[in-house]
Amino acid sequence: MIRLTWVQPEDLVGHELRQAREDGRFAAFPEISAIEARWHDAGGHDAPPRAGASSGDAARLRGLASGLLDELAAFPSPLEEPSDLAGIVAACPDWPAAVKADVDPARVLGAWQGRAAGCVLGKPVEKIPRAGIQEIARATGNWPLRTWFTARGLPAEVAQRWPW
C-alpha cells in the first residue's frame, strides 16, 4: 500500500504549528499553545527538519490530528495574504519585473506531462535528497536507476532512515 504522506493529517500538524509560529497566529492567539500541548501529549511531533513521512506508527494519531488541523484552521492569519495575482503584486513593493525567456512551450508541456505521469505511475520521492534516493536505490538493487523506483525489497532500516 502506498502512503500518501502529503495528505495524512498526522504528517501535517507539526508543519501547521510551525506555520502558525511563522505567520504570527501563535502570538495573536495564545490558545494555539494548548493545541500544541495536546498534540505533543498524545505523542505527536514537530515538523521534521526535512520533508517526508512521519514514523509508521503515526496512524494512531490520525483522528486527533484531523481535529487539531480543523481547530488551527479556524485561527485567521494576521498577515495580509491576498490570493489573486494583482493583490499579491500590490502587497510586494519589490516585485521583480517579468523576464522574457526563450522557452519552447512544447518542452514545458513535456516536463509537466512527465511529472504527472511519474506521480501517477510511481510514488514521488521529490522530498528526499539525492543521498537518500541513492541509498534506497542501492538497497533495492536499482542503482544506477534503470526501472521504477519502488519500496519492493527495501530493508526496514533504510525505510526508517528515508520515510516516503
Within a domain: residue 164? yes
Write the pLDDT tens digit of every residue in 121-158. Answer: 766 676 788 899 999 999 999 999 888 778 889 999 99
For the cut 80, the answer to whether the pLDDT of residue 59 exceeds it is no
Task: Please give the pLDDT value at position 57.
Answer: 62
Q: What is the pLDDT of residue 47?
A: 85
Q: Is the pLDDT of residue 45 over 60?
A: yes
* Domain presence at residue 87: no
* Domain assignment of residue 163, given as a range: 124-164
Give the number of domains in the chain: 2
In a domain, 50, yes or no: yes
Phi, psi of 118 (to 5 degrees): -60, -40
Q: What is the DSSP letter of 152?
A: T
DSSP 80-139: ----SHHHHHHH-TTPPPP------HHHHHHHHHHHHHHHHHS---TTS-HHHHHHHHHH
Angstrom distance (rounded) from CA 5 to CA 25: 25
Residue 151 falls inside a structural domain? yes
Within a domain: residue 86? no
Residue 116 lies in a domain: no
pLDDT at 3: 57
pLDDT digits (tens, 9 = 90+) for 107-120: 999 999 988 887 77
Is 112 a domain residue?
no
In a domain, 118, yes or no: no
Q: What is the pLDDT of residue 31?
A: 96
